A and B are shown apart, each in its own frame.
Chain A
Amino acid sequence: MLRSLLIRLVSSVGVFLIIAIGLFGLVRLAPGDPADALVPIDAAPGIRDQLVQQAREQLGLDKPLPVQFALWFSSLIRGDLGYSFSTHQPVDQMLADRLGPTVLLMGSALVVGLIIAIPAGVFSAVKRSTAFDGVISSVSVVALAIPSFFLAMLGIYVFAVKLRVLPSAGMHFSGDDSISDLVYHLILPVCVLALAVAASFTRYVRSGMLEQLGLDYIRAIVAKGATPFRALMHALRNSLIPLVTVLALFIPAYLAGAVVVEQIFAWPGMGQMAVNALTVRDYPVITGFGLYVAVLVLVCNLLADILYTVVDPRVRTSR
């Protein structure tokens, strides 16, 4: 078991390498000559050519491609991702700064979403085929079909514009660093994201519970004299085990959703950074973001593998 995990780890590193090469190649394919971009346009033609040549040497663009890649990759490993074309900040610094707000947003929405999804899923399963179940299922389906940014617009329209109870953008009102202000700004974006989380996971919890409740051991637990609550807890525990793996694999898609929400709410997270960079073709930032996503996907897959073996006692204890 440990051996297969090790194989996964090694292959993940391999995949990362391939992706790094891919991104490097992609940037080289992109239109525009970075050396040319560094030199002012209005310099005299003769001098300009010299300056461009100098810039090229400085950037290492005259060396053969594999060497360029090796240089770039080695600085990558050390955490140096270059400098943003637009903000001139170090990219790794930008990523670090932006990570916090994104994690805050995603984390809060995940917690809220699960707090809604688990009881909703359990009740749907227990009250199967009743009106309650029908309502929850319909609401889930509707929530999955609405694009999150449209939902956000509706939310802003109702709560920020018409009712004026919530702010429509940003993480803080300027000058206000308090927690309550933060929470105030968090409410709307978290609700939008959490709804999407809840819609997906309610269905998973419901089907997991339905499967467990049909199994013999539940009947045996009732025959032991257990209350319905205790039996439900047994079923819930069993159905949550595969869910943990699903959750790990859900995170990259979840980040995609967060990117969109950040854009609408002008939330200063990684999503906003990526979209801004996209608009101005800020290659270093985009590349940094791409690598971050690649690492996230690989780590989440590894995490799912590990969780699968650790969380389920059946897998954990079989040799």
Chain B
Amino acid sequence: MTSAAPPTVPIVAAEMRPSRRGLVPPGRLALRRFLRNPGAAVGAIVLLIVILAVVFGPMISPFDPDVGKILESRKPPSAEHWLGTDAIGRDQLARVMAGGRVSLTIGFIAALLAVSFGTIVGTLSGWFSGVADAIISRIIDILLSVPAVLVIIVFAGILGPSVPMLIIVFASLLWPQSARIARGVVLSLREQEFVQAARVLGSRTLFIVFRHLIPGVLPAVIVAATILVADAVLSEAAVSFLGAGVQPPQASWGNMLNDAKSITVLSSMPWLWLPPGIAIFATVLSTMAVGDGVRDAIDTRRIG
């Protein structure tokens, strides 16, 4: 179950801002502010480590995450197997990294699709208003309350679990969040004077959209993207844990925790369930920290 904080729409600067060091483009100012925020900086580092481990780890590791040696099974962490082995003798560290690849790939792709689609829909809906906007808003409201985990249980129960299905369902249920944020930004920008001025001057609609709206919408959307990634990773973990997502022997952080939920494993082999759980936690937490950091960094209300 994932609920983001109450959505806040940051007010964003589209032009150069004065600062103690003279005029600075908003991007660089935001970056500086971001790096000065301890939580965000640490989060970014952790996220970077996770991504690097997950991308390069499986290439470096000498062990196969899917196939194990029975003789090596259930061994606690040692010099040879840094995180021990599981019931079939597979190297746990290799599994955690391979599982991370799967979980993060699903999370990022789903979030990317959702953010792209949602931003476009939200921007257009907010800009053009009218009946279409009303209908889309209503759809957004309803879709926002539909839980991805339950929908996937139903689909997986009828059609069988599949990773593409996971990505599609996540993307379909996550886009409303970014659509709502984008729409909110567009609605507030629309009333601002520089947009009104552009309209009066006769700028073509599409031009207005690109020149004025997108720079305002983009930062808010980046923040939304981090929320969505966190959401998707948590949802994938839950769904795989329940058996409706990534199927063994393919590892995913969620189904690794499923393998470990029996009392025997729980009590005597902590190396089997602590690493994937901590991995999920660390990834989600750092993603959220980065998101908060970006939001605080770009919010012009907090200048100075």
Contacts and interface: CB of A to CB of B under 8 A. Distances in A.
Direct contact of A and B (CB under 8 A): yes
Contacts of A267: none
Given A141-B288, A252-B147, A207 B159 contact: no
A148 interface: yes
Contacts of A290: 154
Majority SS of interface residues in chain A? helix
Nearest to A142: B285
Nearest to B146: A297
**Residue in B5, B244, B263 whose Cβ sees the most chain A Cβ within 10 Å:** B5
Contacts of B230: 145
Contacts of B159: 26, 29-30
Given A161-B263, A256-B147, A301-B145, A150 B281 contact: yes
A170 to B, nearest CB: 12
B26 interface: no
Interface in B230-285: 230, 234, 237-238, 241-244, 254, 257, 260-261, 263, 266-267, 270, 273, 277, 280-281, 284-285
Contacts of B158: 23, 26-27, 29-30, 281, 283, 286-287
Contact of A26 (B8, B146, B147, B155): B155
Interface string A126-144: 0000000000000001101
Contact of B147 (A29, A253, A281, A289): A253
A31 interface: yes
B142 A301 contact: yes
A278 interface: yes
Interface residues of B, number: 48
A63 to B, nearest CB: 21
Given A286-B154, A290-B154, A278 B242 contact: yes
A256 B285 contact: no
A23 to B, nearest CB: 7
A235 to B, nearest CB: 16
B153 interface: yes
Contact of B157 (A150, A161, A286): A286
A275 to B, nearest CB: 5
B144 interface: yes
Interface of B: 1-3, 5-6, 8, 141-142, 144-151, 153-160, 230, 234, 237-238, 241-244, 254, 257, 260-261, 263, 266-267, 270, 273, 277, 280-281, 284-285, 288-289
5 contacts: A147-B238, A149-B261, A200-B3, A286-B153, A289-B153
